[in-house]
């Protein structure tokens, strides 16, 4: 089987992963893979079906049977479908935010999502972003990047996204929500958020999007050229 290239981008919520991964993928003609969207899909459907989120078996069963499709989209990055129904914006609400860390902490859920993510990378070169991409999903990734940003920057970015969706938001609320997710995502037993020893760390707090992209693009060019191969 042909081995495609993988660029892994990890980091906490609001650190700039989605924008960076999406635009880097576009520049390199790679496919963008938003792994957080998959965990959000399971969470949204579990909430819709009023499944008890504390019930590992039920949530695990849902994850195993749910059909999740991510379709590359120029504007949105990935269009997201759960059992054939589009949920691209529905998975971004504060209710999903508040519950996705619990759902993504379950082994049964992670096994299914990791398998889906690896399948995605069998089809072509990818820029994948998430929490455990470099450490667990693609430990042999060609380039590993770990993004960070200060909490005010992260909360401001998240508020902007919510406001674009027409949802109300305060920076204080977002700071509390992000801090609580950070704690759960980095404190869980299975595949916690952490920087892989091989990852290049980048603080995006004071950077414009253009600067962010230029830095990761330079890194990608250097790394993929070093492997003596063309990146496009």
Task: Give the angle 118-14-36 at the CA atoms, nearest 5°.
Answer: 25
Region from 21-29, 127-135, 149-157, 202-210 binding ligand DC, contact rule CB under 6 A: 127-135
Answer for which of 8, 13, 28, 33 binds ligand DC (CB under 6 A) is 13
Q: Does 19 bind ligand DC (CB under 6 A)?
A: no
Would you give the distance in Å from CA 207 to the centre of its chain?
20
Dihedral (C-alpha) 153, 8, 195, 41: value to the nearest 10 degrees? 70
Answer for which of 131, 154, 157, 223 binds ligand DC (CB under 6 A) is 131
Dihedral (C-alpha) 201, 206, 212, 216: value to the nearest 10 degrees? -20
Burial class (CB in 10 A: 0-12, 13-18, 19+), 201: exposed
Q: Does 77 bind ligand DC (CB under 6 A)?
A: no
Q: What stretch of H or E contains 17? A: helix 17-28
Q: Does 35 bind ligand DC (CB under 6 A)?
A: yes
Smallest distance, ligand DC to C-beta of residue 91, A: 8
Of 132 and 196, CB closest to ligand DC? 132
Smallest distance, ligand DC to C-beta of residue 229, A: 26
Q: Does 185 bind ligand DC (CB under 6 A)?
A: yes
Answer for which of 30, 39, 106, 120 binds ligand DC (CB under 6 A) is 39
R_g of the chain computed on alpha carbons: 17
Q: Does 20 bind ligand DC (CB under 6 A)?
A: no
Q: Does 112 bind ligand DC (CB under 6 A)?
A: no
> Can you tell me the distance from the alpha carbon of 142 to that of 133, in angstroms, rounded to the nearest whole number?
12
Answer for which of 36, 70, 80, 145 binds ligand DC (CB under 6 A) is 36
Of 34 and 142, CB closest to ligand DC? 34
Of 99 and 221, CB closest to ligand DC? 99
Answer for which of 16, 22, 24, 40 binds ligand DC (CB under 6 A) is 40
The answer to whether residues 23 and 127 touch, using CB atoms and an 8 Å cutoff, is no
Q: Does 100 bind ligand DC (CB under 6 A)?
A: yes
> Can you tell me the distance from the alpha carbon of 141 to that of 51, in angstroms, rounded to the nearest whole number?
36
- Tell which phi-psi region holds residue 206, choosing left (phi > 0), alpha (psi between -120 and 50) or beta: alpha
Binding site for ligand DC (CB under 6 A): 13, 35-36, 39-40, 100-101, 104, 130-133, 181, 185
């Amino acid at each position: 089987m042909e081995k495609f290239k993988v660029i892994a981008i990890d980091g906490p919520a609001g650190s700039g992963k989605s924008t960076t991964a999406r635009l880097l993928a576009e520049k390199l003609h790679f496919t963008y893979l938003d792994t957080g969207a998959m965990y959000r899909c399971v969470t949204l459907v579990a909430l819709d079906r009023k499944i008890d989120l504390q019930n590992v078996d039920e949530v695990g069963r849902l994850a195993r049977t749910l059909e999740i499709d991510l379709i590359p989209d120029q504007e949105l990055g990935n269009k997201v479908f759960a059992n054939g129904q589009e949920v691209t914006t529905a998975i971004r609400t504060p209710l999903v935010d508040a519950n996705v860390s619990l759902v993504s902490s379950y082994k049964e859920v992670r096994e299914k999502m990791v398998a889906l993510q690896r399948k995605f990378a069998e089809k072509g070169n990818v820029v994948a972003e998430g929490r455990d991409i470099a450490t667990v999903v693609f430990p042999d990734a060609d380039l590993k990047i770990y993004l960070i940003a200060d909490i005010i920057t992260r909360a401001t970015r998240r508020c902007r996204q919510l406001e674009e969706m027409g949802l109300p938001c305060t920076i204080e609320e977002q700071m509390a929500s992000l801090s609580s997710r950070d704690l759960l995502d980095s404190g869980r037993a299975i595949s916690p958020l952490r920087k892989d020893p091989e990852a290049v760390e980048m603080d995006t707090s004071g950077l414009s999007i253009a600067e962010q992209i230029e830095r990761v693009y330079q890194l990608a060019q250097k790394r993929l050229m070093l492997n003596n191969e063309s990146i496009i």
